[in-house]
Amino acid sequence: MPIKPDLKLMQAAIDVAVLNKTPFGAVLAMGDEIFVTAANQTKSLSDPTAHAELLAIRKLAGHLQKTDLSGFTLYTTCEPCPMCMSAAIWAKVDGIIYGCSIGAISEFMDQINVRSEYMNKFALKQVKITGGFMENECYNLLRWYS
Ligand SMILES: [Zn+2]
C-alpha cells in the first residue's frame, strides 16, 4: 500500500533546511508524528557524509538504540543520493517521500547520478518511494541556498 504523503511533514523538512540555510532538510516520522529532523551539515561539520538524510537516520537510530527503523518514513527535500539511499535501505525505513529529483539538484551542483529507484532494485526490503512531493517549495530551497 503506498504511503500517503503528508504536507506537514515535508513542511518540517523544508523548515529545518531554511533554518540551516541549506536546500537539504530531512524528517523521520511514524504516522504523522515527527521523531527527528536534520539538515545538511557538510560544511559546518567538515564532513562530506553529513547529508540531512544520513544525519536523521543516525540521530533516530541512536535515540531509539536500534538499527532497524521499520515503520518510519523519511521525508527529504531532495531525492536521496546513493549514499543516503543505501543508509535508508540498511535502516529498513518503510518509505521515502522526496521533493526535487537528482536531475533538478544537478542544475545547481554536482551529483552522483544514480536514482533512488535504481538503488531500490537491490534493496533486501523494498522502500516505497514517492518523488516530486511539494516539488516547487523544495526547488525554491535549491534556488535560495545553493
Ligand atoms: Zn545524501
> What is the per-residue DSSP string for 17-81?
HHHTTSS-EEEEEETTEEEEEEE--HHHHT-TT--HHHHHHHHHHHHHT-S--TT-EEEEEEPPP
Residue 31 Cα to ligand 1 midpoint, Å, equals 23
Half-sphere exposure of 39 (CA within 13 A, CB side): 17
Q: Is 53 labeled as catalytic in the residue annotation?
A: yes
Instruction: Give the Cα separation of 25 and 54 in Å (integer).
Output: 11
Residue 106 Cα to ligand 1 midpoint, Å, equals 13
Is residue 1's pLDDT more than 80?
A: no
pTM for this one?
0.97
- Ligand 1 ion local residues (Cβ < 5 A): 51, 81, 83-84
Give me the mean pLDDT over the 19-48 stretch.
97
- The pLDDT score that the predictor gives to residue 21 is 98
